[in-house]
Amino acid sequence: MNKLSDYSNMLDDERALLTVSVEPLGTLAQVIRWGLSLSPERTIVTVVVQDEYTHDVVMDWDRGRFLVFDTT
């Protein structure tokens, strides 16, 4: 299970809905499919390489906010 950390002061309802959506995502493929299923579609904007095993995948969310998925 993934944990959502909110650094943008989302409204409680908005955070709860997003939490329910992202918690089951376990692979990068699932994240991409989920983003493309949304309206409007959300896509990966960049990948930040931390080391040879760890990458941060950044997805455009809304209103200048981004979702960052830590992957290993």
Q: Sheet holding 65-71: strands in order across?
A: 44-49, 55-62, 65-71
Residue 3 token pair? 């944990």
User: Which residue type, as a one-letter code, is found at position 15?
Assistant: R
List per-residue pLDDT tens for the chain, 72 residues long: 568 888 888 999 999 999 999 999 988 899 999 999 999 999 999 999 999 888 899 999 988 899 999 877
Q: How far apart are CA 11 and CA 9, in angstroms?
A: 7
Place of tokens 């040879």: 52
